[in-house]
Structure formats: C-alpha cells, structure tokens
Amino acid sequence: MKQQQPQKSRARFLGALALITIAFGLYWALVQAPRDALQGDVQRIMYLHLPSILTAYLSFFLVFIGSCLYLWKREKRDDNLAHSAAELGVLFTALTIIEGSIWGKPTWGVWWTWDARLTLTAILLLIYSGYLMLRSLIDDEDRAALSAAILGIIGFLDIPLIHMSVYWWRTLHQPPSILRPDKLPWENVHPAMLTALAINFVGFLLLYFYLLSLRLRLGEVRSEIKTRRLNQGAY
C-alpha cells in the first residue's frame, strides 16, 4: 500500500498536468493562432487531429516493442505493455478518424471518402481492434499473448504505408505542411500555429502516459488476482 501511494500521486499529477497543458494548447489554437488563409476556422481542428494520430503511432510503436520483447523473453510485463498500448492506440486512432471526418465535411464536402490515407488508417483501426478481439477469443493466456504479439508486429507495418500514401498515390488528403524536405517548419507555417501544435502535442503525450500508467496498473492487478486464485485453488 505504501508503494502504491507515490504511484497514485504521480499519476494524478501527470493527469492534472495533461489537462492544464491541453487547455493552454486549446487557448493558443483558438485565440492566438491565426485563421487559415484557405480553410478558415475549420482548420483549427488540426491542433487536435495531428497530435491524436501521432499519439496513436507512438502507442502502436509500443505495441511493436512490447510484442517483440514478449516473443523474445516471454515475460508478462512485456505482454501487458503491448496489450495496454493497443487499447489506447485504438482509442486515439478512432478519435483521429472522427476528427478527420469533422474536418473533411466542410473541406471536401463529405464525411468520408475512400482516400488512400483514410483507408489505410481505417485498416489500422481494424487490425488493432482485431488484435483486442483475438486476445478475448483465446482462453489460454500464453497462446493469446503469442498470437497477439505476432499480429501486433505485422499491424505496425501499416503505419509507414499511411505516412507514404500521400506521396505514392493521388489522394485528397494533403501532404505534410510542417515536415517538408524543401522548407523548415517556421518557413511554411505561422509561428503561432506551430506553438499551438507543439503545446497540444505535449499535452496529448502527457495524457497518453497518464492513461498508459493506469492501464498498466490495471493489467498488473488482474494478473495478481489470477495468481492468487490459482494459488488458492491449488490448496
């Protein structure tokens, strides 16, 4: 119990810091950043859309790392990391698609189109939703973790395809405005826009690691309960 108190305090501090940072980032996005010259105010959803997809990518990268480590060492903590990150990755990917639809309606005239980047992002969501379903359908925990680890590694290969889709195919989705090889970020984007993006991205990262810490602890508690039940059953 004594060890849990500092963990809870750190988690609460991280959660509060995340909310404060996101609130500050939204202030910059809605008040300080100028209106986009072409899209107007609807472009402001970018300040949530871009941080959410980058956070989802980070989450699936942790699934990839956790899955590789589990296949190598067969340790529960690595599987717990992959499982926890997958759940949060699905959450942030779904959020990204919702935000993109809201942005797409006034910009493209439709809520959804089978654009290459949108389609590949939807496939990413389906892959990791299937990852979670696979874990729930297999009763044997070790076999479920092994199967999920393989799918988690394969599913990560979709992310480079999503990134390169705007270069490889003709798409409605615009190419990157910030990370361009021909220009520095501040040469192509207003500094206030970059500031709003940076603050919101930090806020999303803080929120992500707050949620991840809670989910990891939940996985540990579940594992402890199962171990106790097995030990009680042995007697």
DSSP 90-110: HHHHHHHHHHHHHHHHHHHSS
Per-residue pLDDT, averaged over 34-62, amounts to 91
Highest mean pLDDT among 5-9, 108-112, 177-181, 226-230: 108-112
pLDDT above 90: residue 187: no
Q: Which of 179, 219, 223 is nearest to 88 (CA)?
A: 219
Residue 232 vs residue 107, higher pLDDT: 107
Residue 173: its pLDDT value, please? 74
Q: Are 82 and 70 in contact (CB under 8 A)?
A: yes
pLDDT above 70: residue 158: yes
Q: Describe the crossing of helices 116-137 and 141-156 by its angle, rounded to 10 degrees.
A: 170
Banded model confidence at residue 70, pLDDT cuts 50, 70, 90: very high
Q: Are 74 and 217 in contact (CB under 8 A)?
A: no
Per-residue pLDDT, averaged over 146-172, amounts to 91
Q: Are 130 and 151 in contact (CB under 8 A)?
A: yes
pLDDT above 90: residue 223: no
Residue 234 vs residue 176, higher pLDDT: 176
Neighbours of 57 (CB within 10 A): 19
Chain Cα centroid distance, residue 111 = 22
Per-residue pLDDT, averaged over 21-30, amounts to 94
